[in-house]
Structure 1
């Protein structure tokens, strides 16, 4: 069990995590609109299925305790702006490389079949804010993620254009998976220096251990 809990209350901006089934996890941002105290989820639900939803039961809140009140306000505002610009128009893919994913106008840059997962959207959002949460180059493909990648491809294949389908299929068995628990846990433990893959694996284990003890 880590010394400091991952979980807690979120008032303006933070993170949300949900375990639908063992190994099937979801990461989201949680924020309030200007003039409202109601929390909303900003997350990638699937291929061209970027969502701004009311917070629903089943999610655990993860506050960003090391961010100042002013920073949390700015992050909440950025979340609103990303949604207003992108709408649902964020595609899905596995091969996140850590480079800027959103253009200067906050629209997603989807050239050449590029896409995100629910977890890499969180990383791309913080990158847009100027923060590299993890050391992307240190991430490795794990054979146990092959089944997940194959299943995701099967779900989305019918909705993909030729270019996007080819790129996603080529990523199966090669692209490193940024697991939601490792990403959200890393945001919670971030201290200004990108977190290496091996450290994130430990953080992810601690995160799930605490989640299952709640």
Structure 2
């Protein structure tokens, strides 16, 4: 049974938005024209401007003001205000320093250990072609602050995930350095894919200090997330 819920984000119209200062949320969006295309991000309310901000990795890294139309939100209650504030500062700093170079950063090769320091990405030195997607960016960020949300060792690599890896690499190939692209291509099917709905679902089930969420439990929670998103869209 899932004890969490995904809420439609109302942004700056929230009367109780003061309650969300120094808090971090994870967000998911599903493209209406292509339900298989999903995106995930961090969301928070900037205390100074009282406006919603989104931090996410796509064709570039953005930490910016956004109305977040179409996103479903899960506030991460397992993160203390102190930790959330530190995380928000780092998310803003990455944008200020332009610390992510998509040309040699966006990719499918990730097994953890990527960290963010003073606005820069420090790649896992033990993984050639260490890279990030929108999801593994969030996942590594959470792990760096001590939140081992998922049990990576339980993750499976499915035929659908391999197909996605092939397709996404071709889509983003024009933005990647050729040598970096070749490494990513060689790693197709060798590294598991964590889907947006799986990470959001795992965050919903995760309790600080308890064991990470397994692949099976994350998949079950992911189905619930997708149903919640369908309810939001109606």
What band does the TM-score fall into relative to the shorter chain?
A: 0.7 to 0.9
Question: Where do 1:19-168 residues align within 5 Å?
Answer: 19-20=30-31, 21-46=34-59, 49-55=60-66, 56-90=68-102, 91-99=105-113, 101-110=114-123, 112-168=128-184
**Residue 203 in 1 paired to residue 221 in 2?**
yes
CA distance in 2, matches of 1:179, 1:150: 15
Return 5+ residue gaps in structure 2 as ranges.
10-16
Aligned length: 211
How large is the Cα RMSD of the aligned pairs?
2.2
TM-superposed deviation, 1:106: 4.2
CA distance in 2, matches of 1:3, 1:114: 34
Stretch of structure 1 that moved more, 138-147 or 73-82:
73-82
* 4+ residue segments displaced more than 6 Å: none
TM-superposed deviation, 1:120: 0.6
Check conservation: 2:30, 2:37, Cα contact below 8 A.
yes
TM-score normalized with structure 1 length = 0.87
TM-score normalized with structure 2 length = 0.80
SS, match of residue 7 in structure 2: coil
Return 5+ residue gaps in structure 1 as ranges.
none
Residue of structure 1 equivalent to 2:231:
213
SS, match of residue 108 in structure 1: strand
Check conservation: 1:33, 1:80, Cα contact below 8 A.
no
CA distance in 2, matches of 1:178, 1:125: 14
